[in-house]
Structure 1
Amino acid sequence: MEAVMRITDTLKSFREARLSALRGPQEFFDHHRLSRPADMSQATQRISYNTRYFSGNYGIIVAILAVYAFLTNPLLLIAMGFLVGGFAAINRFAPDPVQFGDRTITQKHLYIALFVIGIPLLWIASPLSTLFWIVGASGILIIGHASLMEPGIESEYATVQDSV
């Protein structure tokens, strides 16, 4: 019960911290503010400001790309479902040792069997390439958007507040 409360508190704090930083689609996709930065210094300043300003939106982009990556890799879904479902099933249905003839099967034996089947299945599903695809795709989208989007008027006030 305490673990459920911690998860609930964590989700509430995540929602308050990240989702409160969401900007509306009209502001995030404002094509009037798109322009090519004059030089690398201006691009760096824009990236620095926009990654903080649009952090909630960029988090949603990463989440959408992650969901897309998992849905387009069915073997990874099967491997993760097998491992997570196996852990849940072992913990729920086999907490005590079970006797089969002269053999006693413990949770340790079940976990070993789960790993012997699940780890090679997970390796074949190539989770690292999926992770690198998510990082690369989100990095290109986020850095591209952040460098092309001109900061709004509020960015001038942010520098005044920082210096006070």
Structure 2
Amino acid sequence: MDLALRVVETLKSFRETRLSGLRPPSEFFDYHRISRPADVNTATSRISYNTRYFSGNYGLIVASLAVYAVLTNYLLLIAMAFLVGGFALINKFAPDATQFGEHTVTQKHLYTGLFVIGIPLLWLASPIGTIFWIIGASAVLILGHASLIEPGVESDYAAIDGETV
């Protein structure tokens, strides 16, 4: 019961802190504000403003790409499930040493076996390539969107408020 309460509280906290920064889709996908930047300075200022303004939406994009990458890389999904599931099962069902004939099997032996099988399996799944794919795809999408969307009128007022404070 206590775990369920903590999960609910964590989700509420996440919603209040992270998801409150999400901009509505009508604003995020406003095709009327799309234009090619005149020069590199304009693109840089747009990227600077839009990455702060749409940070919640961009975080959602990165999370979606990460979920997509893991779900489409079956070997990575199997390796992660094997390692996490094995770790949980060893903690739950084998906290004490078990005697098999003359051999005593401890948690250390089970963890060693788990990692001897799991780490090469994880290596074959190429998690580093997946991480770089997520970084590259996120960078292209976020920097492309941020440089093409013109900041709204509120960006001018944000600059004025920043100077008066």
**Fold in common (TM above 0.5):** yes
SS at structure 2 position matched to 1:96: coil
Matches within 5 A, 1:79-118: 79-118=79-118
> How far apart are 1:64 and its partner, in Å?
0.9
Instruction: State yes or no: 1:142 paired with 2:142.
Output: yes
Q: 1:30 aligns to what?
A: 30
Distance 1:142 1:99 in 2: 56
Q: 1:73 aligns to what?
A: 73
Distance 2:163 2:30 in 1: 29
Distance 2:30 2:13 in 1: 29
TM-score using structure 2 length: 0.93
SS at structure 1 position matched to 2:104: strand
Distance 1:3 1:44 in 2: 45
Report how many residues are paired.
Answer: 164
- Per-residue CA deviation, residues 107-146 of structure 1 (Å, 9 max, x unaligned), is 0000000000000000000000000000000110000000
Distance 1:27 1:74 in 2: 35
Structure 2 unpaired stretches of 5+: none
SS at structure 2 position matched to 1:150: coil
> How far apart are 1:2 and its partner, in Å?
8.1
Distance 2:6 2:139 in 1: 31
Question: Runs (4+) of structure 1 moved beyond 2 Å?
Answer: 1-15
The alignment's C-alpha RMSD in Å is 1.7
TM-score using structure 1 length: 0.94
Structure 1 unpaired stretches of 5+: none
- Per-residue CA deviation, residues 24-83 of structure 1 (Å, 9 max, x unaligned), is 111000000000111111101000000010011111111111111011100000000000
Q: 2:40 aligns to what?
A: 40
